[in-house]
């Protein structure tokens, strides 16, 4: 089973670090209609200032600067406005000193969050990609839970967004395999509303080259023989 294979796969040295780098998401050529506009990288406070002053941002000029390596909403600066001052400016400067670059994006109100998990084997034919599952996050984007419900999630996504998530997961799996990564992985995505009121998808928000909660929840659902399963973190 895939659960047995999970513990036998080993990534090449350094592969996990390269594949968990948030900058990889911007390097992969996902179709424009599945990509959040305004993604960029900055390497100084001056380039950060220029980004927030000259780029279209989220509602109320909301934006977020993320460190290349972090998880669960950590190591980032999230703010509204075209200026960066005070404690948040100091925090951004410290993050830049530690990581060299930050990943910038407009902060868009989420309509729904999704994840797609899989297992990368020794060749493309050995790779498994599971159907998407729904993620639950708080208002700041911190992970709170998962719902495994393959048919329900596909219905909620609709055919176009389901295709976006499945195709993106395949693209990510290929990229990780080429970089020497073997083992479990996940892709985070979200649906949002743009300034024109259109429903859009960011199919490649983050890559998690590790054992994700999505796989833990799916394994538990399979163990219990359930087609629907909710996994929530204690508050």
Angle at 39 between CA 36 and CA 41, to 5 degrees: 165
pLDDT digits (tens, 9 = 90+) for 87-114: 999 999 999 999 999 999 999 988 999 9
The alpha carbons of the chain give a radius of gyration, in whole angstroms, of 18
| Residue 141 scores a pLDDT above 80 | no
Between 159-178 and 150-157, two packed helices, what is the crossing angle to 10 degrees? 110
pLDDT in tens, 3-19: 999 888 989 989 999 99
CA pair distance 148, 117, nearest whole angstrom: 11
pLDDT in tens, 32-56: 999 999 999 999 999 999 999 999 8
Mean pLDDT of 135-160: 90
| DSSP conformational letter for 101 | -
188-208 residues labelled b (16+ CB within 10 A) or e (exposed): bbbbbeeeeeeebbbbbbbbb
H runs (alpha helix) in 57-181: 86-99, 150-157, 159-178
Q: For position 234, what pLDDT does the model report?
A: 55
The pTM assigned to this predicted structure is: 0.92
Indicate whether 232 pLDDT > 90.
Answer: no
Question: What is the end-to-end Cα distance of the chain in Å, rounded?
Answer: 33
pLDDT above 60 (res 186): yes
| Model pLDDT, residue 86 | 95
CA atoms of 196 and 109, how far apart (whole Å): 13
Q: Which residue has the higher pLDDT, 21 or 72?
A: 21
Provide, rounded to the nearest whole percent, the portion of the chain with pLDDT above 90.
Answer: 82
Average pLDDT (128-157) is 91
**Residue 72 pLDDT class (50, 70, 90 cuts):** low
Q: What is the pLDDT of residue 37?
A: 94
């Amino acid at each position: 089973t895939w659960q047995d294979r999970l513990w036998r796969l080993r990534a090449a040295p350094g592969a996990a670090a390269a594949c968990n780098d948030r900058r990889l998401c911007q390097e992969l050529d996902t179709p424009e209609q599945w990509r959040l506009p305004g993604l960029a990288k900055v390497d100084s406070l001056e380039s950060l200032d220029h980004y927030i002053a000259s780029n279209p941002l989220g509602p109320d000029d909301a934006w977020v600067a993320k460190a290349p390596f972090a998880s669960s909403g950590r190591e980032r600066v999230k703010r509204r406005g075209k200026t960066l001052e005070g404690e948040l400016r100091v925090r951004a400067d410290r993050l830049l000193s530690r990581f060299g670059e930050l990943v910038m994006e407009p902060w868009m109100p989420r309509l729904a969050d999704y994840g797609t998990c899989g297992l990368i084997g020794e060749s493309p034919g050995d790779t498994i990609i599971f159907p998407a599952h729904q993620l639950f996050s708080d208002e700041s984007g911190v992970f709170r839970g998962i719902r495994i419900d393959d048919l329900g999630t596909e219905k909620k996504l609709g055919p176009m967004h389901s295709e976006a998530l499945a195709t993106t997961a395949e693209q990510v799996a290929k990229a990780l395999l080429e970089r020497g990564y073997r083992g479990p992985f996940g892709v985070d995505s979200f649906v949002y509303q743009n300034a024109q009121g259109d429903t859009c998808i960011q199919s490649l928000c983050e890559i998690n080259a590790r054992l994700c909660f999505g796989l833990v929840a799916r394994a538990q659902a399979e163990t219990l023989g359930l087609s629907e399963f909710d996994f929530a973190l204690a508050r």
